[in-house]
Amino acid sequence: MENQYAHSLLFVCPNCQFPIVIGCLSIRRNLEGIDAENFAATCSDCRHSFNLPGVAAKKHYVDEWPYQQEA
């Protein structure tokens, strides 16, 4: 059984400055792999859609997450 980690990234909408939270799972705890990813987002305030590079996150939280085997 592999460990996996839930990553929560806090971004700022480049259009209206509203906070945006994006989450993902990874088998890696470190930030480097997540920082290299791009995340598609739509702001819940202004509805602007865009891609955000992980490295642009204002905050990055990591928690160990129970492994769930895919069916």
Domain residue ranges in the chain = 4-65
Give the pLDDT band (50/70/90) at residue 67: confident
Model confidence at 1: pLDDT above 80: no
Q: Can you give the pTM of this predicted structure? A: 0.83
pLDDT tens for residues 17-62? 999 999 999 999 988 889 999 999 999 999 999 999 999 999 999 9
Angle value at C-alpha 47, between 16 and 31, nearest 5 degrees:
70
